[in-house]
Amino acid sequence: MNDATQPPADPGQAIIHFDKVVKRFGDVTVLDSLDFEVAKGEKVTIIGPSGSGKSTVLRILMTLETIDEGVIHVAGKPLWHERRNGALVPASEEHLREMRKEMGMVFQQFNLFPHMTVRRNVTEAPVHVLGLSRAEANERAEEYLALVGLSDQADKFPSQLSGGQQQRVAIARALAMRPNIMLFDEPTSALDPELVGEVLSVIQRLAEEHDLTMLLVTHEMQFAKRVSDRVCFFDKGRIVEQGPPEQVFVEPHEERTRDFLQNFL
């Protein structure tokens, strides 16, 4: 049997578990036998140069990209595979749909539905994917719009909001599915500098007050220092170095990490 199809020793210990995952685009190997784990409730930041595979990790988790080799487990269940008669086989669409419910993602570009109100943006998936009634979904929208400080904007359209407000709606929309894991891909990179803070404080509050597992890609190093339990430095589809922020940021072991961090001084 191919080693890569063996489940990890105890996938139950980590809520996210990449085991020797390879991802290629044509001839380019984007993830190079990546081993990566995130514990339940852990807040992990991924940093690294452009093109190092950071977004690919998140997109694979959201099942927006497939993998070429290896096995991923999320919440103890295989992500790109499912177990049939004890063996791992490629996942059915139904299995993938179930797995997606574990995770919510916030993108650099907010990707709101432009023709829908804020409330409708937040209620759409709970109604259509989870089968909530409109009333239940509206109640849920109120809860999460309050959490991101936008209770008074529910009837507006995305184009009537600032970028920072739109990104906070995107966060509320992801939270309204009540995922166990939140993925953030450079959530403030598309924002004017004066709007970055309001989005980071919402994410920081989430990190501090909720037992969500969080995986964040960001170039906001001060923010990463404040919210992360662990920082992973990616380069060329591999983890070069990882550890608590005070170690990786203050005394990185690897020269490549030091060189990269120089750009943010």
Contacts of 144 (CB under 8 A, 6+ apart): 122, 172, 173, 175, 176
State the CB neighbour count (10 A cutoff) for residue 211: 7
Stretch that binds ligand ADP, among 45-53, 67-75, 163-171, 204-212 (CB under 6 A): 45-53
* 257 contributes a contact to ligand ADP by CB under 6 A: no
Q: Tell me the site size for ligand ADP, rule CB under 6 A.
A: 11
Stretch that binds Mg ion, among 32-40, 52-60, 165-173, 188-196 (CB under 5 A): 52-60
**106 - beta bridge partners?**
184
CA 127, CA 173: separation in Å to the nearest integer? 12
Stretch that binds Mg ion, among 15-23, 35-43, 55-63, 119-127 (CB under 5 A): 55-63
Instruction: Say if CB 234 and CB 228 are below 8 A apart.
Output: no
* 55 contributes a contact to Mg ion by CB under 5 A: yes
Chosen residue from 8, 12, 51, 197 binding ligand ADP by CB under 6 A: 51
Chosen residue from 56, 138, 218, 242 binding ligand ADP by CB under 6 A: 56
* 123 contributes a contact to ligand ADP by CB under 6 A: no
* 30 contributes a contact to ligand ADP by CB under 6 A: yes
Q: What is the CA radius of gyration of the chain?
A: 19
CA 174, CA 121: separation in Å to the nearest integer? 10
Give the nearer residue to ligand ADP in terms of CB position, either 82 or 235: 235
Return phi, psi of residue 74, to 5°.
Answer: -125, 125
In the complex, the residues that contact ligand ADP under the rule CB under 6 A are 25, 28, 30, 48, 50-56
